[in-house]
Chain A
Amino acid sequence: MSSSIVTFTLGDREVDVMVTPMTTLQTVLRYQLGQTAVKEGCRQGGCGSCTVLVEGEPMLSCLLPVEEVAGRHVRTVETDTPTDGVSPLQQAFLDGGAFQCGYCTPGMLMTATALLERDPHPTHEAILEAMAGNVCRCTGYTPIVAAVEAAGERRG
């Protein structure tokens, strides 16, 4: 087995990682690049907790061999958080108490970020449809959906 170097853009910096074949993007982000917001949930594509944005599209990093993002742009909660403070979406989650254990939160934030970038003022139904792949086992969906709605409204 031969290791290879994969280069991609993580937020605003270019990163090189040395990987064995078909290492998942989730493993690389979390264990090689310190992006601990990228959670390892089911590793089946069923829970959404490892959601990241690839070229702005939400994708499940546990199902994505890192070779597939060579030369592409990847975003995580870490890359999307301002150096000081939090993003408006994160603030809406804080204000609305939109988490209990917090494990699903990074995935929820990434999917909601992609939704708000496409549709700055999503309807309740649009939020439910977009976020159907993000599972919260504390079952705190109501404040999560309300936080995304509030973030949309605050954009004015």
Chain B
Amino acid sequence: MSVQEYLMPRSLPEALDLLVRHGAELLVIAGGTVAMPLVNEGISLPERVMSLRHAGLDRLERRDGRLEIGAAATLTRLLNAPWVADVPLLAEAVRNTASWPVRNMGTVGGNLFTPPPGGDVAVALLALDAEVRLASPRGERVLPLTAFYTGFMTNALGPDELLAGITVPLAARETAFLKLGRKHANTPAVVTVAVALEREAGRVATARVALGAAGPHPMRVAGAEAALVGSPLDAATIGRAAEAATAEAQPFTDGVATEWYRRRMVGVVLRRALERLT
């Protein structure tokens, strides 16, 4: 069966109204770079599709010490934001995601719904302590991005909720982003690592370590973070963090890499990322 209706709401309230009216039968898309291939191949056979491209969810703002990123802002628009150089971790993640035409279509919010090994931008957002704003007809609630993911292709969105935006607190952190793929550009990840640290008196005071393509969704690795905090960022500390991340990863086998290879690369890529900060 082909699509019966393609809905293009002009505002968030209108989008929420359509979501409530059509419920689970509605496929919600933004840039379409993840959903359209499934529709083209007949893997996804939605009756009704709602596009969020025109719902006013594409604002990009820097204010009050944080970034407000509309869920439907394209990756290219984020990369061209005048302040993007102040958030190098995010800029690197976007630059290393897919290709120019895909970034012209794909959205920041959509990246949170991209199954592994996709979701490189989400890995950076996790390391930056991002929060998600979930809108429903009842209002809006805010969740840390860590609480958004609940499993492979499942999340905390209720049946009447849409992802409206992402908030990134701006803080002085040392950051590193490193993605290992099978080629240099436009490649799915073998492993993606994002790190954000604060140091005081030569020791790591706070640490965020996030992995992509190493589990059912982009995730923080608490053991690796604990291995860093309180220690100087030397070879021994980095070795312990890499070991912890290797043990904590839940990698998988797909057409890009095997579980065995991914697990080994988690430690290697994290070590290389941390060495950039020494």
Contact = CB atoms under 8 A, between A and B. Distances in A.
A52 to B, nearest CB: 9
Interface in A64-92: 64-65, 67-68
Interface string A126-156: 0011111110000000000000000000000
Contacts of B37: 43-45, 63
Interface stretch (A7-15, A16-24, A31-39): A16-24
A132 B6 contact: no
Interface string B84-109: 00000000000000111110110000
Interface string B180-212: 000011100000000000000000000000000
Contact of A64 (B8, B32, B99, B185): B32
Interface centre among A45, A65, A111 (most CB of B within 10 A): A45
A128 B36 contact: no
Given A68-B51, A68-B53, A132-B185, A45 B36 contact: yes
A59 interface: yes
Contacts of A21: 2-6, 49
A62 interface: yes
B105 A132 contact: no
Given A24-B40, A132-B185, A133-B98, A58 B104 contact: yes
A28 B252 CA distance: 39
Interface residues of B, number: 28
B24 interface: no
Contact of B102 (A45, A68, A129): A45
B153 interface: no
Given A43-B37, A63-B32, A68-B53, A1 B102 contact: no
A20 B36 contact: no
A51 interface: yes
Nearest to A129: B185
Contacts of A51: 101
A109 interface: no
A84 B164 CA distance: 49
A64 B29 CA distance: 11
Contacts of B185: 128-129, 132
B97 to A, nearest CB: 11
6 contacts: A57-B101, A63-B33, A63-B40, A64-B36, A65-B51, A132-B100
Interface of B: 2-6, 8, 31-33, 36-37, 39-41, 49, 51, 53, 76, 98-102, 104-105, 184-186
What 7 A-B pairs come out closest when comparing CB atoms? Answer: A133-B99, A132-B185, A132-B186, A63-B36, A44-B37, A22-B3, A21-B6
